[in-house]
Structure 1
Amino acid sequence: MVAWRSVLPVVVLVAFLVLEEWISIPSCKILPGIDSDEYVETGDGSPEDLKVMMVANLLLLGSEAGFFDLYFRDYYMAKFFRKSFSTLKPDMLVVLGDVSAKGSELTRSKWLDVLNQFHKMLGPFLALPFHVSLGDMDVGECSNLDRKSVNWIARNFPGLDSAGCGAFEISNISFVSLNSVALLCGNNKLRFGVEKVIERESVDLQMVTRATIKVEDKSGRSSETSSNFGWRGNGLTSSSGPVLLLHFPLHRKENSYYKKVVSFKSKVDTSGYGSNILESRGFAGTGLYGLFQTIPPNATEYIFQALKPRVVFSAHTHEFDDYTHSDGTHEITVPAMSWKARSEPGFIAATFLSKNRGVSITYCSVARESHMLIAYASVLVLLLFLAIVANTPRLKWLRQ
């Protein structure tokens, strides 16, 4: 009996470690209403499919992180990234802004602390291509949006130009990333830089489309093209209509966002998806702009006319959303990957299918912070109880 009592604390600790590993594994579901016949949740698709993990709103504090943030929140977020990598086996990582919780207020030396923290958190993802869009928490609001500061921050992330924009192609899928913060800022010089990027990508898109039509005409086939992208048949070639990456969502009709979230929650049991949008609005650190802030209508129309995006991924609101614009373009809003923003963080895995040019969206959530704390508290209480039993004479009958 004495031997069993000495082993019991070890058994409890091992059980806790097993529970910790299990609770660190993300819970993923392919969302209803999206054609995913050629993709299964375990990832047994075509080797030519492109799987992109998309996260947002990490809200890192760098050297300003306290003990709890550093040794609990950041520790588990790093573990969630490792588990997500081993579970989903993505080909690429995209971070849709707000890497830092106070980036617009930080000196360059403190920004470097945030970047070090960010790289440590990514872990195995550093071996993959990854892209970071800039958010309002990273670069600030319009009144103090500084071109030199944005340029310095952008240089620390791969593929961003001096305006905080980027364009790249991977596995024949074209991506365009825009500094959406600048698009909110009137006559700011950065906004003109973003517009130049949009114009350049628009010209490239038209040239590629015309070249493809000419090739088809010479081959004797019809010049009418159809990419059959799954969500939206836009009549462009495979290299046209890029995937658009933004921090701020594009403009939507009044109240349409809230109605869409309510509709989504009515169709799907979101008890595992965390708090609703109104609860999320109560977060004290929501940022320099309101959570319902979107890109202005004229800028949104400009983007649609110039780029004709096949699908848009945005963030900022901390909540998941699948919104269909009036022209049929889908916009997926990626939830926050931080306990600072919501009780149950989440992220998106987007798989671009090679066979039918479709796309499959998988929503993944990680454990609630309260669940992790309850697990810790339970183990501590149990160990304390065992210590009391082992050292209290009156409880001798429990030790026998």
Structure 2
Amino acid sequence: MALVRWGLRRHTLHPLKRKSSLLLKLTVVVFSVLLFCEYLIYYLVIFRCHWPEVKMPAHGHQKEPVLKAMFLADTHLLGEIQGHWLDKLRREWQMERAFQTALWSLQPEVVFILGDIFDEGKWSSAQAWADDVQRFQRMFRHPSHVQLKVIVGNHDIGFHYQMSKYRVKRFEKVFDSKMLFSLKGVNFVMVNSVAMEGDGCNICSEAEAGLIEISRRLNCSREVPGSSQCGGGQRLPASAPVLLQHYPLYRTSDANCSGDDAAPLEERTIPFKERYDVLSREASLKLLWWLRPRLVLSGHTHSACEVLHAGRTPELSVPSFSWRNRNNPSFIMGSLTSRDYALSKCYLPCEDTVLATYCGAAGLLMVLTLAHFERLVTPFLGTYLGLKVCTTTPGSGFCF
């Protein structure tokens, strides 16, 4: 009888041990996959990105300081009306991890976000706006030695017919949206492209007046010091500016765009609408004439495109930084001096890769569960039911 009781106890304990072993294996697999997909993958992908090398002047010239700048666009933080809580949680975690990993790995000196920071700024209430701003500041937190500059977009204050003084001032109160910014001898002009409607509205008139004044100061930086027309105020670095805005300069479509992150083929030939998809011809010509930029960076289309305006001014459309808008988000890395620049693109993890990893892990969990279930049930059937069941355990060649 003692031998029988020992045998029963032995068969009772084995399933419990196997269950605990299964739970341990499942826990390890789930934790490892979550750690990889939600944390480590950002380091593995962004570690491959490197700052481009800018051409230095020939021997005999003083070496210029190089400014390291990151450019990203269209984060579209979801609001309380159209944003589902699960979608918010997923997309904002992705952007937060990507941004924080890029800051830690690449160490930029300044970061520019080219508009459409929020998705519902054009109609959000005061409380909803405050909540959105708080989430943005948590996601895009940065050390004090890194400067963050934000350009306004149509989703932040509305299209021209929705734009109001209240929304513009609300945005400017949170983000120091000065139109002119200089660092390490590099001039940046940040334009409210929604206000470039050209219809003489108060906001539009103020924006154009500010750009004309900036144009005067840029021209004075190229003049001989002490010129009677420029006065004795603080001079800007003698450098052609980089123009930053949300809307792209005028182009008919994305037909000439190419690359993995360009618009889909079926969308590239769709004509762009002036003052909606791109700036008007008139506004584009004004900006090019007033500012004479050496480089233009814009957002809004959510896709990449390189355009050469008037045969001499390059423009780069920066893709969306949000996985909600793209499967392969990216940002631009720029090494700039007062005379030259070099750009490169840093891609973030593709969402397809993350989903495929989760699907593979789910399949592995299923295999582990079935294997343990078979090893648990087979001895039980053979011992207690008197059935002749052959084991499938490796190395066993007998039946019960």
Calculate the TM-score normalised by the size of structure 1. Answer: 0.76
Aligned-pair distance for 1:72? 1.7
Q: Are the structure 2 counterparts of residues 195 and 245 from structure 1 closer, same or farther at C-alpha, using a change threshold of 3 Å?
A: same
Residue among 280, 285, 289 paired with 1:305 = 289
The one of 313, 320, 325 equivalent to 1:329 is 313
The equivalent residue for 2:343 is 361
Q: Identify the residue that residue 239 of structure 1 maps to in structure 2.
A: 238
In structure 1, runs of 5+ residues without a counterpart are: 39-45, 161-165, 215-236, 283-288
User: How many residues are aligned here?
Assistant: 347
Gaps of 5+ in 2: 1-16, 57-62, 228-235, 380-390, 395-400
| Partner of residue 397, structure 2 | none
Aligned partner of 1:41 in structure 2 is: none
Q: Is the 8 A contact 2:255 2:268 kept in 1?
A: no
Per-residue deviation at 1:94?
0.3
2:332/2:344 contact within 8 Å kept:
yes
Matched AA of 1:300: S
| Preserved contact between residue 221 and residue 237 of structure 2 (Cα < 8 Å) | no
Aligned residue number for residue 24 of structure 1: 42
Q: Which residue of 1 aligns with 2:156?
A: 138
- Structure with higher Rg: it is 2
2:140 aligned partner, one-letter code: L
- 1:296 paired residue among 275, 280, 288: 280
Once the two structures are superposed, the pairs formed by residues 1-400 of structure 1 within 5 Å of their partners are 7-13=24-30, 15-16=32-33, 17-18=35-36, 20-25=38-43, 26=45, 36=54, 48-64=65-81, 65-124=83-142, 128-160=146-178, 166-184=179-197, 186-212=199-225, 238-252=237-251, 254-255=252-253, 257-259=254-256, 261-262=257-258, 265=259, 270=260, 273=261, 276=264, 278=266, 293-353=277-337, 357-392=339-374, 393-394=376-377
CA distance in 1, matches of 2:342, 2:21: 51
Do the aligned partners of residues 280 and 390 (structure 1) sit closer, same or farther apart at CA in structure 2, a change above 3 Å counting? farther
CA contact (8 A) 2:240 2:292 kept: yes
Residue 250 (structure 1) shift: 1.1
Whole-angstrom distance in 2 between the partners of 1:126 and 1:379 = 40
Other structure's SS at 2:335 match: strand
Superposed CA offset, 1:197-250 (max 9, x none): 111101111222213597xxxxxxxxxxxxxxxxxxxxxx95342211110111
* Matches of 1:375 and 1:168, distance apart in 2: 43
- Tell me the secondary structure at the aligned position of residue 224 of structure 2: helix
Are the aligned partners of 1:30 and 1:363 in contact in 2 as well (CA < 8 Å)? no
Query: How far apart in 1 are the matches of 2:246 and 2:274?
Result: 13
Alpha carbons 1:245, 1:314 under 8 Å: kept? yes
Cα 1:81–1:395, aligned 2, differ >3 Å: closer, same or farther? farther
Provide, for residues 336-377 of structure 1, a one-character-per-residue CA deviation record: whole Å limited to 9, x for no partner: 1112222211111111147xx321111111122232233233
Structure 2 letter corresponding to 1:79: R
For the structure 1 residues 277 and 115, does the alpha-carbon distance in structure 2 shift closer, same or farther, using more than 3 Å as the test? farther
Report the Cα distance in structure 2 between the residues aligned to 1:380 and 1:78, rounded to whole angstroms.
26
Question: Greater CA deviation, 117-126 or 151-160?
Answer: 117-126
What is the CA deviation profile of residues 304-358 of structure 1, one whole-angstrom value per residue up to 9, with x for unaligned ones? 221111211111111112211115011111111112222211111111147xx32
Q: Within 2, Cα distance between the matches of 1:12 and 1:361? A: 40
Distance 1:395 1:207, change over 3 A: farther
TM-aligned CA distance change 1:159 to 1:19, over 3 Å: closer
Q: CA deviation at 1:127?
A: 5.4
Counterparts in 2 of 1:121 and 1:185: CA distance versus 1, 3 Å: farther
- Give, in whole Å, the separation in 2 of the partners of 1:123 and 1:277: 36
Residue 84 of structure 2 aligns with an amino acid whose one-letter code is G
1:192 offset after TM fit, Å?
0.4
Q: Please state how far the C-alpha of 1:77 moved relative to its aligned partner.
A: 1.3
CA distance in 2, matches of 1:293, 1:8: 52
Equivalent-residue separation in structure 1 for 2:100 and 2:75 (angstroms): 15
In structure 2, C-alpha distance between the alignment counterparts of 1:377 and 1:191, rounded to whole Å: 51
1:278: Cα distance to partner? 4.2
Q: Normalising to structure 2: TM-score of the pair?
A: 0.76
Contact 1:277/1:319, CA 8 A, preserved across alignment:
no
Corresponding residue number in structure 1 for 2:383? none
Is this contact kept in 1: 2:77–2:88, CA < 8 A? no
Any conservation in 2 of the 1:274–1:342 contact (CA below 8 Å)?
no
Q: Compared with structure 1, are the counterparts of its residues 208 and 127 closer, same or farther at alpha carbon in structure 2 (3 Å cutoff)?
A: closer
* 1:43-81 superposed Cα distances (whole Å, 9 cap, x missing partner): xxx993111111111010144542322332211211111
* 1:364 aligned partner, one-letter code: C
Contact 2:186 2:337 in 1 (8 A): no
1:249 aligned partner, one-letter code: P
RMSD (Å), alpha carbons: 3.4
SS of the equivalent of 1:204 reads helix
* CA shift in 2, pair 1:143/1:62, >3 Å: closer
Distance in 1 between the 2:145 and 2:362 partners?
Answer: 37
| Deviation (angstroms), 1:186 | 1.8
Distance in 1, matches of 2:196 and 2:369, equals: 61
Deviation of 1:300 (Å)? 1.5
Amino acid at match of 1:379: A
Q: SS where residue 180 of structure 2 aligns?
A: strand
